[in-house]
Amino acid sequence: MNYCSTIVIFFGGLGMFLYGMNRMAEGMQKLTGAFVKNFLEALSDKKAMAILAGVLITAIIQSSTGTTIMVVGFVNAGILSLIQSVGVIMGANIGTTVTGWLVSLFTLRNLQYGYLIASFLVGIAAFMMMFLKTEKKKVAADVIFGAGILFLGLFTMTNAIGQVKEQGDYVQKFLYLGNRPFLAIIAGIFVTLILQSSSVSIGILQCFALNGLVNWKTAVFIILGQNIGTCMPALISSAGTQVNAKRSAMIHLFFNVFGTIVFGFGMAIVFARNAGFANGTISSAGIAAFHSGFNIVVAFLLAPFTKLVASFSDIVLKSHGLEEAEDDVELASRHLDKRILESPSFAVAEAVQEVVHMGEVAYESVKLAFDAIISRDARKVKIVFEKEDTIDKMTDVISDYLVKISALPLTEEQHTSITNLFYTVSNFERMGDHAENLAELCNYMIENNIQFSEPAYKELEGIMEIVTNSFIYSIRARRDLSKESADRARQYEDLVDSIEDELRNKHMKRLANELCKPTSGVVFLDILSNLERISDHADNVAGYVLNEI
């Protein structure tokens, strides 16, 4: 077999390995996303819990790089504190070793045996996808299929390497790297940076080890480099974030550089004193064991100094005075951090929170418009116009994020939730429009000196209170996914409909009896129409919630 054919087969195997890992990770996130989300939200500053969270998340998404990028997003969005992120990052370094152990255990007896099991997993998963109807079983099939494809890719790469190992002195080339630790570390950094995953680069190293091409000395220094390389994407991703998010990414780099220095010098001494061990062939399990041992020991050494590490990052990355106050649009943009899209469950949860926040801004605008009409306050009218601009911008930011989420691997429930959030955003935006309409009517009243009779004002105050309640309960329903709040919102909306008809009739009688001017009568009826439409939109929001329950 010539080199070109071998390279093609190797890259085909690498493609299967990457695709299988991605498919398995997506399935695991669907199966466990809600559990991990609740677990992470319940974190206190206890280091052990934060480390465990990092291990779990990384074991699920199969990438410490992905976890760290997500952590940068969590810190930037205010979901995690800097102290909490330190523990999660420690756990991420440990969790990334899971893939290596899976590879080593799967190839423990012999490659042929593992190849048969991988083929069997793919076949079983295919039949499950074809004949099972429930979503959870299909997701489980996705996980099994991904695992099977991952290991088929591993065996393909291993066989490709085996085909050419006799055609050149590859052992000598690896020995060359082992005799130059700095070069081996750079090689590990470079490969991991290209592949964006230490799990994948470790898997490739294990393929070489399965063919007997790697000794302990070379493998150790390459692994140390891989642990540094996995930090780089998160550092790049932290550009443009809040200072604490940058610190979080820098802490990850500090951990792995610290570990590399300690283990690098330590293992160099061990190898110098035991040449037989240094030059002995390392197994796939040996690579997994060292990778795990390295990350566990570094976490054990640094765990007592979590606050000190955070303080060190504060010294290196100083904030330049007080952060400028952020408006609602800037907060929404920061909270809807694109890095959180690495975890669909968290992305959906953050989207819900920002949609609720948008509803609260729209509610403030509506309430100000109500007060402006009753008090004829031009200052409040101006604030309503400003809030309308904010609501429009929030609509764009949130809608764009929802589009991105809809492209993620979501469960059916999450797809339903995202669809309903799209509709909810639209309804909150329309409620803001009606607040603007009311503000414009108030301006018209002030400019033309239009006054209502005392009974008319009392009637408006009464129906405004009911509309306000329908709005409040629709927001609560969306926030808490509450059937009780949704039902209350709909009850208030029904009450608004009946009262609106009654008030229209009363006002028509006042017009007929010439108790008010025709001009004021038109404005009064326009106000009623806008109030009724606001309660209609509140009813729509409640309906979307009931659709999810």
Q: What is the pLDDT of residue 32?
A: 66
pTM of the shown model:
0.75
Measure the CA–CA gap between 383 and 379, rounded to whole angstroms. Answer: 7
Q: What is the pLDDT of residue 326?
A: 57
* Residue from 187, 197, 122 nearest 153 by CA: 122
Lowest mean pLDDT among 156-165, 269-278, 481-490: 156-165
Lowest mean pLDDT among 142-156, 267-281, 302-316: 302-316
Lowest mean pLDDT among 38-47, 298-307, 310-319: 38-47
4 vs 8, which has greater pLDDT? 8
Reported confidence tier of residue 423, pLDDT bands at 50, 70, 90: very high
* pLDDT tens profile 60-104: 776 677 777 777 777 777 777 777 778 888 888 888 888 788 777
Q: What is the pLDDT of residue 490?
A: 92
Is pLDDT at 267 greater than 60 in this prediction? Answer: yes
* pLDDT tens profile 15-46: 888 888 778 877 777 766 666 666 666 655 56
Helix 412-447 vs helix 344-375: angle between axes, to the nearest 10 degrees? 20
Partners of 215 in the beta sheet? 281
Give the chain's domains with CATH numbers: 3-316 (no CATH), 343-548 (1.20.58.220)
* pLDDT tens profile 167-226: 555 555 655 665 788 888 888 888 888 877 777 888 888 888 887 778 888 889 989 988
Is pLDDT at 481 greater than 70 in this prediction? Answer: yes
Q: What is the pLDDT of residue 321?
A: 46
Dmax over Cα atoms in the chain, in whole Å? 110
Lowest mean pLDDT among 60-64, 281-285, 363-367: 60-64
Reported confidence tier of residue 471, pLDDT bands at 50, 70, 90: very high
Q: What is the pLDDT of residue 58?
A: 79
Collapse the DSSP code of 223 into the 3-class scheme (helix H, G, I; strand E, B; otherwise coil) and give the result: helix
**What are the φ and ψ backbone dihedral angles of 297, each rounded to 5 degrees?**
-65, -45
Measure the CA–CA gap between 109 and 78, rounded to whole angstroms. Answer: 47
- Calculate the alpha carbon distances from 20 to 94, 152, 472, 511 in Å: 21, 9, 46, 74
Q: What is the pLDDT of residue 322?
A: 41
End-to-end CA distance of the chain: 60
Residue found under tokens 């806008």: 530
8 A C-beta contact, residue 198 and residue 96: yes
Q: What is the pLDDT of residue 361?
A: 92
Is pLDDT at 445 greater than 50 in this prediction? Answer: yes
Q: What is the mean pLDDT of residues 437-446?
A: 90
Q: What is the Cα 307 distance to its own chain's centre? A: 25
Dihedral angle, C-alpha 397, 400, 405, 407, nearest 10 °: -170
